[in-house]
Amino acid sequence: MPDASQQAANAIDWDDVLAEVVSTLREYLRIDTSNPPGGEETAARFLGEILEREGFVTEYVEAAPGRVSLRAVLPGSGDAAPLMLLNHTDVVPAQREFWDVDPFAGLEQDGCIWGRGALDMKGMGILELAVMLLFKRLGIVPKRDLIFLAVADEETGSSQGIEWLDTHRPAWLREPEYAINEGGMAGLNFLGAQRPVFACAPSEKGPLWVTLHASGTPGHGSVPHDNNAVDRLVRALGAIRSWDRASTIDPMVQRSIDTLRDAHAWGDRQPSLDELRTRYPAFDAMTNDTISSTGLGGGFKHNVIPADATATLDCRLLPGQSHDAFLRNLREVIDDDQITFSTQLRSESGTSDFDTELIDVIREVVGEQVEGAIVTPLPTLGFTDSRVLRRRGVKAYGFVPTLMDASLAAGIHGHNERVPIEGLRTGVQILFEVVRRFVN
Ligand SMILES: [Zn+2]
């Protein structure tokens, strides 16, 4: 005998739900929340008004003018601690000249919805919204409160978003036991696997943004000397390039590989770790602390040796790696006391346990709904707001069940970002069912 919430769920017309998801997402993508400057208030009000129309009580908070985050709660029976559905409303800017379509037109074309934020992460935000609306319409009373939190300012480090909430609304971040957020992916052809892989992220790499400041003796370009700030900087960058760092297999990456191997995801021929690293740069980055040189500054006249020069480095450390130890090693490698460091962004994330009730439910639902699918843990390469929740003891997972080819999922932050409509169908069905079963 199915229970009441199961019976209600059986009556859902998923074609209708998908049509609503698609039209809401297209409208949402037309709100330009490029960050900087963000201007997320319009997005928060857009989502908030939809929730209010369906009877939700909403709360808005403004960290700075126009930087608005939104919260709505579907009250549960209180028999278990809340589950949070977290999303961010801002997007990275789009360079229109490189796009085939207007990135803020919310176009539907070739079976996809196109636009900046389709993948990161307005598409997922609308799936979370759809789950909230379905619960309300079906009259399901969960045992856990369901919290919808749509935050501003994720893309530039969250100081006007979840970090601000952490200071000014700490209770909001402490109350959930679990959270589902961006990160992870549901991919076909993921690492060449022949079965669909739902990679679920219990952790993420930590960004460490460093600027090197080289100083030297200024002078006339016609008289070279050996205390040239530009030359010092070039030497330092050369030393960093040839720094031989051992690769590390994070326990979650190892578990992912083992899971895929045990499930014969690659058929008869299991690729070696080295093959995977060579073939998939993103996987390579998952097994190393990485350093990308991203900027150079210095000099003001062609015939003047400047007194200083700078370089920016985007370093990303594996989960659990000490940022201080990394900086000490970097200093040793550069070995030049006329080069000083400053850090612009450093963020470390904890790792959420992967053997939990929520992960069990995800495995069960994914297994039922997508034939042959495998659920694995995999840290997220970028950083997400989940780090702040993990700091507060919340079990937070990157779980985006929008199934698509892994190469399309890699379009996050790129040109022609788009999400396949059929992926949204799988996504909303799985997300709803995971939440329903978990809070039932
Ligand atoms: Zn994002």
The rounded average pLDDT for each run of 10 residues, N- to C-terminus, in the chain (440 residues) is 84 97 98 97 98 98 98 96 98 96 98 97 98 96 97 95 97 97 95 96 96 98 97 98 90 94 92 93 92 96 97 95 95 98 91 97 98 96 95 97 92 91 98 97
Cα torsion through 436, 183, 199, 245, rounded to 10: -150
Query: Residue 207 C-alpha to ligand 1 middle, in angstroms?
Result: 14
Query: Residue 118 C-alpha to ligand 1 middle, in angstroms?
Result: 10
Query: Residue 86 C-alpha to ligand 1 middle, in angstroms?
Result: 11
Query: Residue 271 C-alpha to ligand 1 middle, in angstroms?
Result: 30
Query: Residue 227 C-alpha to ligand 1 middle, in angstroms?
Result: 43
Quick one: CATH architecture of 206-245+289-346? Answer: 2-Layer Sandwich (3.30)
Query: Residue 384 C-alpha to ligand 1 middle, in angstroms?
Result: 6
Residues in Cβ contact with 373 at an 8 Å cutoff, skipping those fewer than 6 apart: 186, 195, 196, 197, 198, 366, 367
- Tokens representing 28? 């949402």
**Using CA atoms, how far apart are residues 433 and 406, in angstroms rounded to an integer?**
23
**Using CA atoms, how far apart are residues 65 and 42, in angstroms rounded to an integer?**
12
**Using CA atoms, how far apart are residues 161 and 24, in angstroms rounded to an integer?**
23
**Which pLDDT belongs to residue 1?**
55
**Using CA atoms, how far apart are residues 51 and 136, in angstroms rounded to an integer?**
10
Ion ligand 1: residue ranges with CB closer than 5 A: 120-121, 182
Quick one: CATH architecture of 4-203+349-439? Answer: 3-Layer(aba) Sandwich (3.40)
The DSSP element (H or E) to which 403 belongs, if any, is strand 403-405
Query: Residue 161 C-alpha to ligand 1 middle, in angstroms?
Result: 12
Range(s) within the chain of domains with CATH label 3.30.70.360: 206-245+289-346
Report the Cα 150 to chain-centroid distance in Å. 14
**Using CA atoms, how far apart are residues 203 and 353, in angstroms rounded to an integer?**
9
For residue 319, is the peptide bond before it cis, meaning its omega torsion is within 30 degrees of 0? no
Query: Residue 19 C-alpha to ligand 1 middle, in angstroms?
Result: 24
Query: Residue 388 C-alpha to ligand 1 middle, in angstroms?
Result: 14
Range(s) within the chain of domains with CATH label 3.40.630.10: 4-203+349-439
Query: Residue 55 C-alpha to ligand 1 middle, in angstroms?
Result: 28
Coil vs helix vs strand at 162 = helix
Query: Residue 120 C-alpha to ligand 1 middle, in angstroms?
Result: 5
Query: Residue 183 C-alpha to ligand 1 middle, in angstroms?
Result: 8
**Which pLDDT belongs to residue 4?**
86
For residue 240, count CB atoms less than 10 angstroms from its CB and return exposed for 0-12, middle for 13-18, buried for 19 or more.
middle
Query: Residue 221 C-alpha to ligand 1 middle, in angstroms?
Result: 46
**Which pLDDT belongs to residue 400?**
98
- Tokens representing 331? 């200093």
